[in-house]
């Protein structure tokens, strides 16, 4: 299994759960999220690749402020049903 494949699968699955109608493209690297703006159908395209360099390490696990504007804190990647519903409601309110 290629490096990062498991991580991409987990993250891709989470994105698919949040956005109804989203799907993974035939290249197995791209997620497409259908939406519309002013009645015009659109797809947001997210390409997933595994970074060869990890910028969040090297400083005792701290990312350099020169390379990162905001650092994410690792958390449980499993979304609860309530979290999924909340995101779906937000997407609907935003018209996405």
Show pLDDT as tens, one digit a residue, over the chain (96 residues): 566 888 888 888 899 999 989 999 888 889 999 998 888 999 999 998 888 887 765 545 555 555 556 655 666 667 788 888 888 888 888 777
- CB 30 within 8 Å of CB 45: yes
43 beta partners: 34
pTM over cut 0.85: no
């Amino acid at each position: 299994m290629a490096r990062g494949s498991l991580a991409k699968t987990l993250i891709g699955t989470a994105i698919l759960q949040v956005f109804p109608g989203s799907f993974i493209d035939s290249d197995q690297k791209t997620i497409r999220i259908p939406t519309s703006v002013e009645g015009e159908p659109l797809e947001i395209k997210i390409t997933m690749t595994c970074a060869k360099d990890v910028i969040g390490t090297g400083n005792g696990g701290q990312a350099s402020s020169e390379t990162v504007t905001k650092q994410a804190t690792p958390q449980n990647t499993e979304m609860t049903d309530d979290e999924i519903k909340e995101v779906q409601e937000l997407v609907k309110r935003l018209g996405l």
